[in-house]
Structures are given as structure tokens and as C-alpha cells.
Amino acid sequence: MELKVIENATCTFCGCVCDDIELHADDMRIHQAKKACILGKSWFLNHTAEKKYPDALIDGQPASLDDAIEVAANYLYDADMPLVYGMSNTTCEAQKECVAMADLLGALLDSHTSL
């Protein structure tokens, strides 16, 4: 099996945004992530193009994305002290939307790096 080599890939896992990662991949998964730290390697190597999970869960049960968004919106709307948290595995565009949502809600915004 011949792997495609992608030079200077960016890791968005922890926020350091290392941009010199060398990825070796086929159409389904990344097999090597050279120059990535142990967290970055784990992140790259454990995400595949396979569909392993439902689009969304509500109370642990598979749900449609639309239903899950509605439930999440209701939780956030009803919250006294909303927290918008995470964003480590998301694109810049998605993070921008999270910031806008936190502003709209008057929420606290935090990433996993505070751990």
C-alpha cells in the first residue's frame, strides 16, 4: 500500500498549532504523524474517515443532528451560567461560531487547555 505524504500539516489539538507535521496517509486513515508530540500523534492516528459513531447522541441514544442541535440550544437558552467549552478538535470557522455563540449567550468561553 502506497501512502500519500503530506508535508507541513497543522495539528490543531492543543492550541500550540504545530504546523510542521509530516503525515503519511491512505484514503481511510493517517498511519504516521512525524514530528507530532504524543498528543498530536494520538489525535492524528485515532481519527479516521470511517463512520464509527452516530451523527449525534441525546441522553446517550443516537439522534439526528437537527434534534441534537435543538436540545443543545434549549439547554443553553435555559442555563443560568452557560459555558461554551472545548473546541480543540474544531476548525477556526467553528471556533469563531463558538465565540459568537458565547457572546450571544453571555456565556463563559473556555478550551480544554485550562485543564
The residues that touch ligand SF4, with contacts defined as CB under 6 A, are: 11, 13-14, 16-18, 36-37, 39-40
The region that residue 89 occupies, defined by phi over 0 for left and psi between -120 and 50 for alpha, beta otherwise, is: alpha
Q: What is the nearest approach in angstroms of ligand SF4 to the Cβ of residue 39?
A: 4
Q: What is the nearest approach in angstroms of ligand SF4 to the Cβ of residue 37?
A: 3
Are residues 87 and 101 in contact, defined by beta-carbon separation less than 8 angstroms?
no
Nearer to ligand SF4, 5 or 79 (CB): 5
Nearer to ligand SF4, 39 or 79 (CB): 39
Report the chain's C-alpha Rg in angstroms: 17
Alpha helices by DSSP H, listed for the chain, are 38-45, 65-78, 92-105
Nearer to ligand SF4, 39 or 69 (CB): 39
Q: What is the nearest approach in angstroms of ligand SF4 to the Cβ of residue 42?
A: 8
**By CB neighbour count within 10 A (0-12 exposed, 13-18 middle, 19+ buried), where does 11 fall?**
buried
Q: What is the nearest approach in angstroms of ligand SF4 to the Cβ of residue 101?
A: 24
